[in-house]
Structure formats: structure tokens, C-alpha cells
Amino acid sequence: MDKHALTTTHINVLLPSTHLTKYKHYIYDKVLAYKQFIFHFTNLRAGNMYIESILKARHSVRAFLDKPVPTQTLNSIFESAQLSPSNCNVQPWHTCIVSGQTKDNLKAKFIEALMSGAAPNPDFNWAAQYSGIHRERQFGSANALYSSVGIAREDKKARQMAMVRNWQFFDAPHAIFFTMDKYLDIMGAVDLGIYAQTLSLIMAEHGISNCMQGALGQFPDPVREILNLPDDRGILFGMSFGYADENAAVNNTRTDREALDNAVTFFN
């Protein structure tokens, strides 16, 4: 979608005044609709399968416009995500979407926890230390992220500050906490992962970007308190989402993938 470069930059140049925010949003909507039309049309003409086109164009987004997703669109997206498959159709997800004041209250609580030096205490086991090739790939993705915003490898403080952005939801207008009954453990985690990716693909179809975040499962207590969740409900991970700020350097982060031969084996 990036190729069709009618972006918010153009809109900001044409309509620089902040008084014109309403009109900017209107024009942004029209530009988005135009870009989606061109994107669909180009892919249909090329005979591509739509999901493949989305997968090739997608990437995690960590800076968003101050523009909420319309309620009708939200309802439609989450309605479609309900079609996600799950083991024995148990549908273990309970999805909590936070916006507005609730999101701001949570952000304040998270920052309070971080400032107090509280240690992460996730409901589920995120403690595994990556090793070998997994550690290399972990470093690769971190380096891609930090170099996109000009943070040097040795600048620990700047890296920490970039990490804190997770708990500020990257200034997204909405965030999700993927929750499930704690007893489900790995059985539920598989289903929640599939659900989250289904959701992410549907969002992409609506021109909405996101970043999945293990970070949002690291301090479950304030989430449980503010969202009034029962003790037996665990918070597995989260996601911030909204319309991408295409001018933000952090959104230039790109990661690569392993060659097929090293990831997939066909047995005949």
C-alpha cells in the first residue's frame, strides 16, 4: 500500500493549520479509501490472493494518528474476528478493548508501576530466554527497530525509553488486552494467537494498523484492577491499533524472514 504515496504529509502541507484538523481527518479518510481501492484493484488485476497481498504489505506499526476508529468499523472488525477457529471451538478469548479515559488511566498506572521499579509479573510464562538462532533473530528485530529511530546499540537509556512506549500504547487511540481463563494455559494461548492474527488481518483490510505486544501482559495487576477482571482471568498479551502515522520514522522498521528451506520441510 506504501507505493501509492498520497500520504498525510501531503495533507499537512496542503492544510497546515491545526484548526483544520476536522478537514484533515475527512481528507485522510478519502485518501485511505482511494489507496485501498487502488490496492484492491492492482491486486485483483495481478490475480493475487488478497490475504497474500496483505501479508506482503503488512508490518508492525508503532506510531499512530490521533484519530479513533469509528464505532461501526470496530464492531464489524470484532464481529468478523469471532469467526476465528479454536480447539474444540471453545473460543477461549475474552477481548478487552480500551480507548479514551480508560486507556489513559491504564497508561498512567503502567508508568507508575515502571517508575516504582516494579518487576514484571505476567499471568503466563513469558520467562523463556531465547537462545541460538532465536536470540539472533531477537537481536535482529530489536536492531531494525532501534536503527529506524537512530538509537545506537550502546545507548541503553534511549532503548529503555523506546521500550516504555509500549506501555503508552505508542499513542494509539485503542488497545486490546487478550485475556482468557488462567487454567487454559498453552491450550488457550494457541487459540488466542490464532485469534489475534485473524483480527490483525481483518484490521489490515480496513486500513487499520497494529502492533501486537507481549509487553502488555507483563503488568497484569493494574489491568485487572481498572477493567475489573476476575482473579481467575489471565492477561496473555495485547495490541495497540489505529491509523498508522506514515511520517513517523519508527514505522520504517522492517524485519526479514528466514529462507523457506530453513523453516519448512516437505516429506513425501
Ligand X SMILES: Cc1cc2nc3c(=O)[nH]c(=O)nc-3n(C[C@H](O)[C@H](O)[C@H](O)COP(=O)(O)O)c2cc1C
What residues line the site for ligand X (CB under 6 A)?
59-60, 62, 141, 166, 211-215, 237, 255
CB of 126 to ligand X, least distance (A): 9
User: CB of residue 52 vs ligand X: minimum separation in angstroms?
Assistant: 15
- Measured from the CB atom, the residue of 11 and 237 that comes closer to ligand X is 237
Report the alpha-carbon distance of residue 156 to residue 171 in Å, rounded.
Answer: 22
Give the side-chain half-sphere CA count within 13 A for 50.
12
Q: What does the block give as the cell for 42?
A: 492492482
In the complex with ligand X, which residue's Cβ is closer, 262 or 268?
Answer: 262
* Residue with smaller CB distance to ligand X, 179 or 213: 213
- What distance in Å separates the CA atoms of residue 58 and residue 176, rounded to the nearest whole number? 19
Element (H, E) at 175: strand 174-181
CB 201 to ligand X: min, Å? 12
Instruction: Give the nearest distance from C-beta 207 to ligand X in angstroms.
Output: 17
How far is 191 from 180, CA to CA, in rounded Å? 10
Q: How far is the CB of 258 from ligand X (least distance, A)?
A: 12
Q: First CA to last CA across the chain, in angstroms?
A: 38
Q: Which is nearer to ligand X, 53 or 166 (CB)?
A: 166
State which residue, 69 or 175, has the beta carbon closest to ligand X.
175
Q: Residue 205: count other Cβ atoms within 10 Å of its Cβ.
A: 15
